[in-house]
Amino acid sequence: MNDIFPNLHSITLNKIDSNIWNLIRTRLPSFISLRSIFIYSVDDLDESTATLMSLIFHDLLFNVKSLKHLFLETLYGQNETIIISTSSLIQTSTIECLTVIGIQINLHQIFAIAPMLRQLNVKLIVTQFYEIDTIFQPSINLQQLSINNNRMTMFEIRHLLSSMTCLTYLSLDIDNADNDMINGNVWIPLLTRIIAFQFIFKISNEMNIDLNTFRTQFWLEEKKWYVTFDQWTDTSCSFLYTNPCFNGYYYPLPFVKKTLITESTGLEPTTYPHTKYIFFDIQSPMSQAHLRRFTHAHTLIVESDFDISFKNIITCIDLSRITSFVQGKLETKQSNNEFVRILHNLPHLRSLCLHTSTLILFFNRHWPQILDLNMKIDSLGPFKRLSSNEIDALWRSFTRLKQLEFDRQSVRNLSRLFNTMTMTLSNVSIRHYGDINNLNPRMVTRQWLEQNTKLCQFDYFKDNKWEVYLWL
């Protein structure tokens, strides 16, 4: 394994906590050729997300000298900030492309330690704009800037962009945009050098939008930038964004009753090519016009009433792009299994996340295309536990699985599950949630697996959240 590290140029990691990172960081000196690293889902129970993210950030920027491209993401640091120590501010990194998702950073500090930056995609600390005399000194090479922020004003935008003379690409995702940011004429002096400008502003329904300010010669003829305004009635917010929408479109949740009133400055249909997830609930369905905007979604999440829901969905969406299907609520109505037939015919479907009571409906078909299966239970209601015969049916139906996730409660006979598994299986995750006191074993340990299954050569890891990972 040590012979591999010096030759690695790119690596992707997922689900990183402090224990895993402490193992990885001891190997960092071996990554002498690493140029790109992508780390998804950083989270830890032992310490704050900010502490762990800061450690990873520091280790990679200052200890991996060859690194040029870093992508770092967490889902749990929305109100926290990456901490860069005073001693680190006198060091510099050769990083050129930096993306930090889910946690705030201090822009002054980033520019100080990363003078070679060409691309930056971050969430900023709002308070760093409060000092009027503060001057941002970005890299002279900075050409692309993407910002996600909870709130921003036009004054802050002007202050930020005034020193970025080489910037050609700008994207802004602002949750609470001020009134002065929704006037197209105000933007013109700031955008003369910008080649590509994309934004999505979440705004209050109390604001008055004049789309004619975005229908000027500058917007439509010179730049060819088109803007859409979506007003969601009966909710507190609406969205103003460039079309096509450059980011994931976080439309109001499916169970929120609402009506969409939309207007655009362009002639082309409004689309969401970067929104990868579709949530559909037949109890509060989207209009067909809105559904047709999801042109490149790869994950379909259906809350309930599968057969009726799919009848609505297939008339508006090209399901041939769908690679993952996720069941939302536990199905309470008797299905005629038409949705199973539809899913079986999807050419690129590779992943299923189903309640065990729904999964058994899939056992009368062969699913060689499915590589990833997640069997879940409803912890607040009745749930199905697979019998020995159903375990056999599982492996007859899913013969090429590579990844399997399941709740400990959903399988009583674990020995049978592992002793009859498909030979293609390489990754297993076992969640130990809910009432598992009547199960044997309660916690799946390495010793139990060695004594009660045919597994011989495998790696075992238990995290701080009562989840066991196996690499076979």
3-state secondary structure of 288: helix
Query: Which pLDDT does position 45 carry in this prediction?
Result: 72
Contact assessment for residue 358 and residue 328, using Cβ atoms and an 8 Å cutoff: no
| Strands 196-204 vs 237-243: parallel, antiparallel or unpaired | antiparallel
Q: Which residues of the chain have pLDDT under 50?
A: 1, 130, 132, 255
- Tens of pLDDT, residue by residue over 92-124, are 889 999 999 989 888 888 888 898 999 999 887
Is-contact 113 133, C-beta < 8 A? Answer: no
Report pLDDT digits (tens) over 433-445. Answer: 777 677 777 889 9
pLDDT of residue 134: 54
The pLDDT, as a whole number, for residue 255 is 47
Spatial separation of the C-alpha atoms in residues 394 and 180, rounded to whole Å: 58
Residue 258: both structure tokens together: 């609402």
The pLDDT score that the predictor gives to residue 420 is 96
Answer yes or no: are the C-beta atoms of 82 and 100 closer than 8 Å: yes
**What dihedral angle (degrees, nearest 10) is formed by the CA atoms of 385, 355, 76, 130?**
-160
